[in-house]
Amino acid sequence: MKNLLVYYLFILSPFALMFWMISNEYAIAFVVTLLLYSTIYRGITDYFRLKARGYIGLELLRLFVPFRGRRRFFRDLYFR
């Protein structure tokens, strides 16, 4: 996932499903999907993005901690 456009496509595509859930009044499913997105899905996509860019090691496991883990790799994930 070296291409930045493909990365953005992967991280933004679940919002279509979440928008559909909230518009059809599936509130509990929306909350569950949002929690899974913010913890597991984003951790996996960010891991593969950084792995493709050459980062290796146990520090990548920090990506599964929401909000805190991605701060160190912010510039490499979103701008390079």
| pLDDT digit string, tens, across residues 30-77 | 999 999 998 889 888 888 888 888 877 656 677 666 666 667 777 887
Rounded CA-CA distance 80/77 in Å is 7
What values do phi and psi take at 9, rounded to 5?
-65, -40
For residue 20, name the pLDDT band (cuts at 50, 70, 90).
very high
pTM of the model: 0.76
Rounded CA-CA distance 13/56 in Å is 26
User: For the chain, what is the domain count?
Assistant: 1
Instruction: Inform me whether the pLDDT recorded for 2 exceeds 80.
Output: no
Range of the domain at 57: 4-79
Q: What is the pLDDT of residue 14?
A: 93
Q: Are 73 and 46 in contact (CB under 8 A)?
A: yes
Rounded CA-CA distance 22/18 in Å is 6
